Every structure is written in structure tokens, then in C-alpha cells.
């Protein structure tokens, strides 16, 4: 089966190993007999609802975020339509921020958001940097840990009742205080975790792949296990670095 990915603004938002994340999805799909077709969508390019099984938005510097923010905000209806039609979405760091209602920079200027996630982000005085470990339960009764690296000045505030991606075990998370990290809305997930994210969290890579396949199959398939010894070791090393921070900062 061909899995079509719409990679938004890879020429602008590309500093957190975003192409590496795509390479991991492609490899894991191929091992199950599927083909990942990654299509770049940049400024002014059409985004046709129903055409993509997965939308991906990566991270970038403030300058690049400011350049693409109006274009991304103008796609709000198209992205909503894609998600309503069953597509999955993964947004990392800057992409995560800009899929909220707005991002307010340190000068007090608001970058418009696409309004996909029920949240808003305001830049703080101090960057939140370091290895991070989360506890997640994306499926009832199935608890996993996510390990990665965070580097952001933005304080992201979820609306009351919004579902976070996970609970912070070690690190800062959305705002350094709530104990929440990321946001989940059905098959759409946003997170500050990078470093990159998917190579060291194979269970999460497979969850994303299954959600994308569900766009065509109607429900997420059960993917056959892969020999993930190296990936699990990478996860363990990243988790150990996060634990050295002592506790939630």
C-alpha cells in the first residue's frame, strides 16, 4: 500500500532532523511491504483534502516560522478537512506551536496559527533545553515512554480539557509547570520532542504509521514487530540522560 505524506515547508522548517523522521517512517513502512510517498508542500502549493494520509510539519528558527506562518494559517480549513477525513498529523516544535491559535514572540508580536490544536504559545525569557522523558498512553491500557530533546523558549498553554501527548517524567514540557507535554487531537499529535524523535522511539513511529494507514483502511492495522534492538538501545540511552536531570524541572 502507498502511504502519501504531505511534508509542509521542508525548505523552511528543517532543523530538527525532520528528514530523518521521514526516513524512519519510510524504512518501517517498507519492512511491512508499504511504500512511503513523501511530497513537499511549500509556500503557495496546494493542499488537497483527501490526498494525504499523513501531514508532517517540522521545526525552524523564529525567522523561518515568521515567513511561513501566514501561509500555514491560511490553510486552516484545508488541514481541518484533511483531519476530518481521517488523515493523521505529526508536528514538531515550531510546527507544533504554529498549529495552535498563535505564537507570541519576545517582542510581543503575534504570529498567526492554523488553529488546529486547542492551545496558544507565548515566548518566555529563558529557553527550556535538555533531554526529556514522557509517559504516554495513546491506546487504552498501553503505556509507553517517549524520549527526546527539547529546545524552546515558547510556553505552550493547553485549553482546559485538551489532551496532552504525555506526562513529563523528566524535563520541562509545554510550559515547565503543568507537567504536560505536547497535544493530541485524535490522529493529530504535536510535540516539542526532537533530536530526532522517531529513530529512538520505534513504538511511536509505528503508531504514527498505523494512524496514516488507517486513513485508507478505516482503522489502524496491527503492524508486525520489527527487530528494534538498536532503536531500543537508543531509547534507553536518551531516557538515561533525561533521568540524570533528577526530576521534573
* Cβ atoms of 98 and 79 closer than 8 Å: no
Q: Would residue 93 show up in a list of annotated catalytic residues for this protein?
A: yes
Determine which one of 34, 194, 215, 235 is catalytic.
194
Torsion of CA 235, 240, 241, 247, to 10 degrees: 120
pLDDT value at position 246?
Answer: 56
Q: Would residue 52 show up in a list of annotated catalytic residues for this protein?
A: no
- What the chain holds in terms of domains, given with CATH numbers, is 2-243 (3.40.50.880)
- Beta-strand pair 166-170/119-139: antiparallel
Nearest CA among 10, 123, 110, 113 for reference residue 57: 10
Quick one: how far is CA 73 from the chain centroid?
A: 17
Which ranges of the chain have pLDDT less than 50?
Answer: 249
Inter-residue long-range contacts of 135-138, CB under 8 Å, 24+ positions, other chains counted: 135/166, 135/167, 135/169, 136/165, 136/166, 136/167, 136/204, 137/166, 138/184, 138/207
Determine which one of 93, 170, 180, 183 is catalytic.
93
For 217-239, write each residue's pLDDT tens digit. 999 999 999 999 999 999 999 99
pLDDT value at position 30?
Answer: 98
pLDDT value at position 249?
Answer: 44
* Cβ atoms of 181 and 132 closer than 8 Å: yes
Per-residue cell: 192: 516539542
Amino acid at each position: 500500500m502507498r502511504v502519501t505524506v504531505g511534508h509542509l515547508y521542508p525548505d523552511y522548517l528543517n532543523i530538527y532532523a525532520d528528514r530523518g523522521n521521514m526516513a524512519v517512517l519510510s524504512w518501517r513502512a517498507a519492512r511491512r511491504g508499504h511504500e512511503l510517498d513523501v511530497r513537499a508542500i511549500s509556500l503557495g502549493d496546494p493542499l488537497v483534502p483527501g490526498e494525504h494520509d499523513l501531514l508532517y510539519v517540522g521545526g525552524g528558527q523564529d525567522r523561518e516560522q515568521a515567513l511561513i506562518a501566514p501561509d500555514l494559517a491560511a490553510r486552516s480549513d484545508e488541514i481541518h478537512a484533511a483531519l476530518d477525513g481521517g488523515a493523521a498529523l505529526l508536528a514538531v516544535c515550531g510546527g507544533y506551536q504554529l498549529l495552535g491559535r498563535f505564537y507570541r514572540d519576545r517582542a510581543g508580536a503575534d504570529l498567526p496559527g492554523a488553529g488546529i490544536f486547542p492551545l496558544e504559545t507565548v515566548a518566555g525569557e529563558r529557553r527550556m533545553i535538555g533531554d526529556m522523558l514522557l509517559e504516554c498512553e495513546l491506546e487504552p491500557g498501553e503505556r509507553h515512554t517517549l524520549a527526546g530533546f527539547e529546545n524552546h523558549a515558547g510556553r505552550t498553554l493547553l485549553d482546559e480539557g485538551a489532551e496532552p501527548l504525555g506526562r513529563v517524567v523528566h524535563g520541562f514540557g509545554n510550559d515547565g509547570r503543568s507537567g504536560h507535554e505536547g497535544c493530541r487531537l485524535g490522529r493529530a499529535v504535536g510535540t516539542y520532542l526532537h533530536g530526532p524523535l522517531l529513530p529512538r522511539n520505534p513504538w511511536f513511529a509505528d503508531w504514527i504509521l498505523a494512524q496514516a494507514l488507517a486513513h485508507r483502511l478505516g482503522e489502524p492495522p496491527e503492524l508486525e514487530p520489527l527487530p528494534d534492538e538498536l532503536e531500543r538501545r537508543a531509547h534507553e540511552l536518551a531516557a538515561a540522560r533525561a533521568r540524570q536531570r533528577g526530576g521534573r524541572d
